Structure 1
Amino acid sequence: MSELLEKAKNFVSDKVVNMKKPEASITDVDFTGLSLVEGAQYLAKVSVTNPYSVPIPICEISYTLKSDGRVIASGTIPDPGSLKSNDSTMLDVPVKVPHSILVSLLRDIGRDWDIDYELELGLTMDLPLFGNFTILLSQKGEIKLPALF
């Protein structure tokens, strides 16, 4: 009897390990505007593929935006919706940088009229059989600012 239970346990663990999981990638990060009230706004676009035949609820999206090694914005977006079944879903992640931080970015902006950044995202979703599952993403790059003239 214990041999049968051991085989069943190994079978189930192999199936769970080899089960497809959602995959994600950051496709774009753009500067979207500057507001006197809210500071600078950025928008990250994240593509998430759901291999399951049922929609998957996203519990939250957490983000940290760094520039020149310093955290300039961080936060969470609770309950941003669900992933479409057997399809890719494009998620928009708005990031707001307060005015107080913008002053510290002037040195980086003045050098080459862009902002060097590192964006870290965590997509937490509720998967059947797995429970809460987090996909961690990171991207480095530079955001060119619009020309004034």
Structure 2
Amino acid sequence: MKKIVLGVLLLGLFMLNGCQQLWPLLQQMNIQKPVVKLKTVQLRGLSLKGIDLEAKLSIKNPNSVGINLAGYDYELLIEKHSFLKGRQEQTLKIAGHGQSEISIPLSFSFQQLYKSFQTLKTADSINYTLRSGLTFDVPVLGKIRLPVQTTQRLPNVKMPSFKVAALKLTHLGFNGADLSLSLEVDNPNAWSLDLQNLNYQFVVNGQKWIEGILQQKLQIGQKQKQRIEIPVHLNFLEMGRSLYQLLKNPAPLEYQLTGRARLNSSIKLLGSFELPLDQRGRIKLLK
């Protein structure tokens, strides 16, 4: 029993002596929290389908000893409502008095966005808040989380559209007919578009009337509509005399417009893109 008591006393003296030696060392180290700053949130990708963001955070270690990043969490709020959130276990060692940075990638589709926020379909821009927290293992202090936050705006991309606005008969003869096909281009965005070319095919009542590539350059201003006039010539000898009766008949025509349009955006990141065309409907022939 005496040996046990003596052992406990010796252990206590040893621990007391160790703490007395360790405490000045800890005071000398003066352990502080790391400094985390949100440097930028960059728009890395923009298309008709969605948006790619990248947040860059800088880390500064003010201590003489190294610290470890254990991971980060994030939450993206759209119009003050939670939209995306997650956590990533990412380790990174920051040396004493060292600096480093990490990137947090975020991607989402407009389909996903509009499903959650239907009112944004007609909005010109999107308000968002990015909240993130970095978790560190710091000597003496243990595990700590340091939060950062920013609120910014993103451009909203709305799908341009092509539609058949009118089909007018300009000449009807014994061997053929001339018509004018009018297409309307609608740009619902808050930035301009340039039509580079248009590859099209126009089918009426199951018969191909015309196809071709339009190289006409056309600028469609922000929230504006423009019309494209395409001449159509029908040869009854090649396409059949039944076309003559079809054009004389006042009944509406069944049509299908297919093809691809090459457009260029005034937003550099969006740049040039292709828009597929596939529209069906009924139209009355103007005379």
With the length of structure 2 as denominator, give the TM-score of the two structures.
0.41
List alignment gaps of at least 5 residues for structure 2.
1-15, 158-190, 192-264, 267-287
Greater RCO, CA 8 A, separation 6+: 1
Partner-residue secondary structure (3-state), 1:51? coil
- Equivalent residue in structure 2 for 1:53, among 47, 52, 64: 64
Q: Which amino acid aligns with 1:33?
A: G
Q: Residues 99, 52 of structure 1: CA spacing in aligned structure 2 closer, same or farther, 3 A cutoff? A: same
Query: What is residue 44 of structure 2 aligned with on the other side?
Result: 32
Q: Residues 87, 144 of structure 1: CA spacing in aligned structure 2 closer, same or farther, 3 A cutoff? A: farther
In our comparison, the structure showing a higher alpha carbon Rg is 2
- Paired residues, number: 137
Is 2:94 the counterpart of 1:79?
no
Partner-residue secondary structure (3-state), 2:112? helix
Q: Which amino acid aligns with 2:38?
A: I
How far apart are 1:24 and its partner, in Å?
0.7
Q: Residues 92, 81 of structure 1: CA spacing in aligned structure 2 closer, same or farther, 3 A cutoff? A: same
Q: Whole-Å Cα distance in 1 between the matches of residues 151 and 94 of structure 2?
A: 25
How far apart are 1:144 and its partner, in Å?
4.1
- Equivalent residue in structure 2 for 1:114, among 125, 129, 137: 125
Q: Residues 109, 29 of structure 1: CA spacing in aligned structure 2 closer, same or farther, 3 A cutoff? A: farther
With the length of structure 1 as denominator, give the TM-score of the two structures.
0.73
Is 2:77 the counterpart of 1:102?
no
Partner-residue secondary structure (3-state), 1:79? coil
List alignment gaps of at least 5 residues for structure 1.
none
Q: Residues 100, 108 of structure 1: CA spacing in aligned structure 2 closer, same or farther, 3 A cutoff? A: closer
% of aligned pairs identical? Answer: 24
Q: Which amino acid aligns with 1:143?
A: L
Q: Which amino acid aligns with 1:26?
A: L
Partner-residue secondary structure (3-state), 2:64? coil
How far apart are 1:67 and its partner, in Å?
1.1
RMSD over aligned Cα atoms: 3.1
